[in-house]
Amino acid sequence: MDTTSAYHWPWDVLGIAANADERTVRRAYARLLKQQRPDEDAEAFQRLRYAYESALQMVNAGAAGGVTTDVSAHARMPQSVPIPDATPETVQVSLPMPEPTSPSSGFAQASPAVRRREPDAFESAVQLWQDFVTQRDKLESRRSLQDLFSHVVNIQTRDELEWQALVHCLNEDASATLRMNLSAVLGWRDNAAHLRRRNVAIATLALDRVFADEDYNALQLRFTNAIALLEGPQLPLASGAHALLRAGVRTEMEQLLTALGRYHPNVVRLRLDSEKVEFWTRCLTFRVGAGRLFGPTLALSAWCGLLFASASMNLNGDRWLDQWTPVQLAVLLATLMVTLVTSAAITVLLSEPQQQRLRALRSIGWLRYGWIPLWLGATAGALCDAGNERLSSVAMATLGVCTIWAALIYGWPRIRQLAILAAVGAIGFGFVGHWLSTDLRAWPMPFAHGVLFAFYFSFAQQEWHGWFARRPRAAWFGVAMWFAGFVALIVLLLQREERSTQFAWALFTVMAAMGGVLATTRWNDLRRAVPAFFRGYVHLVWLAIAVSRPDIIACVSAGLMSVWIIDGIKQRRGSRGAVG
């Protein structure tokens, strides 16, 4: 065999072919020794050293096991008769009796026969194990391991075979199932003293890995939910403490971390991420206050309550806080109470199976994305009929419902991130400037639109972008509709009529949401193009123009998105041409 196999010990460790000579083995060892110093990684050095010694022994044994033949003699070659399904130890060899030249000469005068050296225990064990590990269908079978060791009747060969199996457990590609099956078949948990006497360093390393797999499997069966959290993506500290408040998970995590610290340190060292173990230990001691737990929920609930209260006010009155009546205050408090109770029930009281069913429910298409057309339709309708107080009230209530809907589907984002994206969607795109110039009493509308734009940008936009990327025909249709809308936007804004401007802003509402779906918007590239010293001034100038001249901002934003869409089309064509 001329190539290195991942299943062949020790050639995979040395990185050489299995038919290498002694010189190649020594060179490979010297090269790897420079990379694995014993003072830096004792385990890796021990493994490398044993692989080097094993390779030398195998090379020397192979060189000594050749067959010598006297070519000048015309002796009859011996014929070996193998026993079916026998191991190398149970093979019987029958040699023909050469005819003596005289009664007194016996075998001394016979023609020289081929002298064949029987394979020793080490060679037989190496060959047996290498043959076994190449059969991938048997590696995960405990019955195959039992058959392998039960067929070996020679005690020395069996000991060598057991040692080869133990050393194989050090390989990174060896599965946990194989390690556990070996331990169960050979009884390493109760009887491993003979392995440690042979080489305490190698045996300790291998057995620690084997026992870590067994202990981890037992812990996974006992602490299913806690292990799922421990191996999942790392969350912020407050979110981790929040996740532990679900029924039963906190107690289960406490028991798991106690077991890991007291009885199974090797599981943490060899199977788990120690940083995640430390993180969840901090989560257990983290004091979750009401502000950290319900801060985002409280802020968004108050905002939705404000929208509902404003929508319930007298249609002919101003929508300011000094115009509120007890009815508006009751609407605000009722919204706060309902949303906080709902959030607590979803995030704290539900068990893990119920959480899984809830996640499956959130993945349903119309529930996950149904709020988007409702949001865009309500905003566009309010923009098309500015001054109609009844329509504005309906639109405010609709946007409040969409905000709670999106939060229940995607979760409550960080307040800082939500505030920045909401400000960009409301002020940076010019909606605040347009609404203040047309209907000052509907001041909550642009900010409600900005909050929903923040949810859309944070969660749904990339999902829709991927959906269009997988469907070229739908993407081309969307691009065609985009440029038709862009032309209509410019024409409507140039007419400078109130009705045309209303329709233009309703169209721009949809275009601003679709821009990031049809192409990757690169607002951050524009920001990085400005020197850091001037970025703050550029932002102030942009906001000032967005408030005073929102029509210019709408045209500039739509133009930039059109450039990015065209650039995306060029890149896709270039990639297809390169592939072709």
Given a cut of 90, is residue 451 above it in pLDDT?
A: yes
Q: What is the pLDDT of residues 500-558, one digit of tens each?
A: 999 999 999 999 999 889 888 888 778 788 888 888 888 899 999 999 999 999 999 99
Residue 95: CB atoms within 10 A of its CB come to 13
Given a cut of 90, is residue 495 above it in pLDDT?
A: no
Given a cut of 50, is residue 84 above it in pLDDT?
A: no
Q: Which residues pair with 80 in a beta bridge?
A: 93
Residue 85: pLDDT band with limits 50, 70, 90: very low
Q: What is the pLDDT of residues 352-411, one digit of tens each?
A: 677 778 888 888 888 999 999 999 999 998 888 765 677 888 899 999 999 999 988 887
Q: How far apart are the first and last CA of the chain?
A: 38
Question: Angle 553-554-556 (CA atoms, 0-180°, nearest 5)?
Answer: 65
Given a cut of 90, is residue 490 above it in pLDDT?
A: yes
Between residues 1 and 429, which one has the greater pLDDT?
Answer: 429
Rounded to the nearest 10 degrees, the angle between the axes of helix 371-384 and helix 498-518 is: 160
Instruction: Write out the DSSP string of 208-248.
Output: HHHHHHHHHHHHHHH-HHHHHHHHSPPPPHHHHHHHHTSTT
- For the chain, the average pLDDT equals 79
Residue 73: pLDDT band with limits 50, 70, 90: very low
DSSP 93: E
* Percent of the chain residues past pLDDT 90, beyond the cut: 22
Residue 96: pLDDT band with limits 50, 70, 90: very low
Between residues 50 and 158, which one has the greater pLDDT?
Answer: 158
Given a cut of 50, is residue 9 above it in pLDDT?
A: yes
- The pLDDT of residue 164: 87
Beta-carbon contacts of 170 under 8 Å, excluding residues fewer than 6 positions away, are 47, 202, 205, 206, 209
Distance CA(510)–CA(531), nearest Å, equals 32
Instruction: Average the pLDDT over each of 90-104, 180-194, 297-311, 401-415 and give the range with the smallest value.
Output: 90-104
- At residue 80, what are phi and psi to the nearest 5 degrees? -90, 140
DSSP 347: I
- The pLDDT of residue 3: 40
Pull the structure tokens for residue 106: 């016996």
* Percent of the chain residues past pLDDT 70, beyond the cut: 80
- The pLDDT of residue 294: 63
DSSP 68: B
DSSP 346: I
- The pLDDT of residue 333: 92
Residue 370: CB atoms within 10 A of its CB come to 15
Given a cut of 60, is residue 68 above it in pLDDT?
A: no
Between residues 448 and 411, which one has the greater pLDDT?
Answer: 448
Instruction: State the alpha helices, DSSP H only, in 459-549.
Output: 461-469, 472-495, 498-518, 523-529, 532-548
- At residue 68, what are phi and psi to the nearest 5 degrees? -100, 135
Diameter of the chain by CA atoms? 136
Residue 38: pLDDT band with limits 50, 70, 90: low
DSSP 348: I
Beta-carbon contacts of 69 under 8 Å, excluding residues fewer than 6 positions away, are 114
Beta-carbon contacts of 566 under 8 Å, excluding residues fewer than 6 positions away, are none
Residue 317: pLDDT band with limits 50, 70, 90: low
> CB–CB of 164/129 below 8 Å?
yes
Given a cut of 90, is residue 69 above it in pLDDT?
A: no
**Gyration radius (Cα) of the chain, Å:** 38
Residue 62: pLDDT band with limits 50, 70, 90: low
For 476-485, what is the mean pLDDT? 92
Q: What is the pLDDT of residues 245-294, one digit of tens each?
A: 776 788 889 899 999 988 888 899 888 988 889 889 888 877 655 555 56
- The pLDDT of residue 37: 61
> CB–CB of 142/181 below 8 Å?
yes
Distance, CA of 74 to chain centre:
70
Q: Which residues pair with 68 in a beta bridge?
A: 115
Distance CA(169)–CA(192), nearest Å, equals 14
Q: What is the dihedral of CA 474, 480, 482, 483, to 10 degrees?
A: 160
286-to-283, 296, 351 alpha-carbon distances in Å: 5, 18, 21
Q: What is the pLDDT of residues 211-250, one digit of tens each?
A: 999 999 999 999 988 898 888 887 777 678 777 877 678 8
Q: What is the pLDDT of residues 161-179, one digit of tens each?
A: 899 889 888 887 788 899 9
> CB–CB of 514/483 below 8 Å?
no
Given a cut of 70, is residue 59 above it in pLDDT?
A: yes
- The pLDDT of residue 2: 40
Given a cut of 90, is residue 60 above it in pLDDT?
A: no
Phi-psi region of 132 (alpha: psi -120 to 50; beta: other; left: phi over 0): alpha
DSSP 409: H
| Closest to 282 (Cα-Cα) out of 246, 319, 315, 236 | 236
Given a cut of 50, is residue 117 above it in pLDDT?
A: no
For 99-112, what is the mean pLDDT? 39
Residue 32: pLDDT band with limits 50, 70, 90: confident
The helix (run of H) or strand (run of E) holding residue 79 is strand 79-80
Q: Which residues pair with 79 in a beta bridge?
A: 94
Phi-psi region of 526 (alpha: psi -120 to 50; beta: other; left: phi over 0): alpha
Residue 88: pLDDT band with limits 50, 70, 90: very low
| Closest to 524 (Cα-Cα) out of 424, 441, 443 | 424
> CB–CB of 119/91 below 8 Å?
no
> CB–CB of 434/550 below 8 Å?
yes
- At residue 316, what are phi and psi to the nearest 5 degrees? -95, 0
Q: 3-class secondary structure for 287-323?
A: CCCHHHHHHHHHHHHHHHHHHHHHHCCCCCCCCCHHH
- The pLDDT of residue 49: 76
- The pLDDT of residue 508: 94
Instruction: Look at residue 80 and give its three-state secondary structure.
Output: strand
